[in-house]
Amino acid sequence: MKIGLRGFILGIVFKRTRLEKMTYGKQMQSGKAFEYALINKLFSKLSAQTNVRIIENNQYHIAKECFNLEESKDQDAYKLHSSFAINLLLDLEPRLSNDINESDFLELEIQDDTTGEIGDVRDILIVRAIQKWEIGISAKNNNDAVKHSRLSMKLNFGEKWIGIRNSQSYFDEIYPVFKELEEIKRNSDKKKKWVEISDYQSKYYTPVLQAFISELTRLNNNNPGVIAPKLVEYLIGKKDFYKIIKRSRNVEIQAFNLNGSLNKSFDDTNPIYKTPILQLPKTIEKIEFKDNSINTVVVKFNDEWKISFRIHNASSKVEPSLKFDVRLLDYPKNLFKNIVQVV
């Protein structure tokens, strides 16, 4: 039996209910489509100036399929936004269009999403092996989320995020909550939905977040000057990158130049714009619930860094696992940011 391309992609990637596949799958589809438009716009703009090639791996073909599933007007929008973004990127990175010799290839590659789990949030990797140079792009379509991370009964977020294990007190606090969710799932034969539970956010989300606040505070107090930089580095990425955000009427580029690897000159050719090096925060100043919220925690650091952690259920059905939507609320004033209007 043959299945359509849309069903194939969404069915393979997300094994959830039909409604969730279409909703969550659409977000994935549009994000991958934007990645495809960006990498191909890079290729088309640079192929006349330097030797450039696209590594057509599995991720590239998935992105191409997602792009082809979009309506023609949306495809045109991806192409247009990509063109404006790449024009600015060329002004920021002279090495994109300048090579040493004919064997100095510029290689473009879409990375597997799992690289984010090890601190590399770059969707598109751009490499000149001969120059020992690389930069990366994190592509966002109407979305500025930083990272999606989970909490569960056994998941040690301290060890995974910052290399320091959580305390037993933390696991003692969250155990009753996730144990009850596990029993609800088992007793309902995996059919119970969150909306069928009254006040489920205050009953389950809030106590997990309270335990999260207590544990993050404990880790910070026991490891002064260590937690803040490691936490921010894990959440925004260990590798320097440009974040390109596509919105309906504009495209924004942000330069997360934490290690100083972005914005390099090529011989006497200098970037038109400068992207300052960002300093990671040194301390956590406050950890608290967002005003009038029972599902979001805000962590405030020094140097104006501020990050929110909104907890939610990743599935409509009850699971003993919760997911964070992490967003960068504020950042140092010297973060390079340029918004280009798209007409």
Same domain, 322 and 217: yes
Q: Which of 143, 175, 199 is the last residue in one of the domains?
A: 143
Q: Are residues 23 and 154 in the same domain?
A: no
Q: Which domain holds residue 159?
A: 146-232+280-330
pLDDT in tens, the chain (343 residues): 444 544 544 444 443 333 333 333 788 899 999 999 999 999 999 999 999 999 999 999 999 999 999 999 999 999 999 999 999 999 999 999 999 999 999 999 999 987 767 778 899 999 999 999 999 999 999 888 887 789 999 999 999 999 999 999 999 999 999 999 999 999 999 999 999 999 999 999 999 999 999 999 999 999 999 999 999 999 998 899 999 999 999 999 999 999 999 999 999 999 999 999 999 999 999 999 999 999 999 999 999 999 999 999 988 999 999 999 999 999 999 999 999 999 7
Give the contacts of 167 (CB within 8 A, at least 6 positions apart).
Answer: 215, 218
Rounded to two decimals, what is the model's pTM?
0.86
Placement of tokens 């505070």 in the chain: 217
In terms of domains, do 100 and 222 share one?
Answer: no
Q: Which helix (H) or strand (E) holds 329?
A: strand 321-330
Q: Please identify, among 143, 159, 188, the residue that sits at the C-terminal boundary of a domain.
A: 143
Q: Around Cβ 133, how many Cβ atoms within 10 Å?
A: 17
66 with 93, same domain: the answer is yes
Last residue of a domain, one of 94, 119, 143: 143
CB of 163 within 8 A of CB of 197? no
Tokens of 149: 């991370």
Residues 103 and 159 reside in one and the same domain:
no
Domain match, 64 and 211 both: no
Number of domains observed in the structure of the chain: 2
Residues 210 and 292 in one domain: yes
Per the listing, tokens 């006040």 go with 199
- The number of C-alpha atoms within 13 Å of 314 and in the hemisphere containing its C-beta is 16
**Distance, C-alpha 198 to centroid of its chain:** 32
- For residue 41, give the 3-state DSSP assignment: helix
Cβ count near 205 (within 10 Å): 21
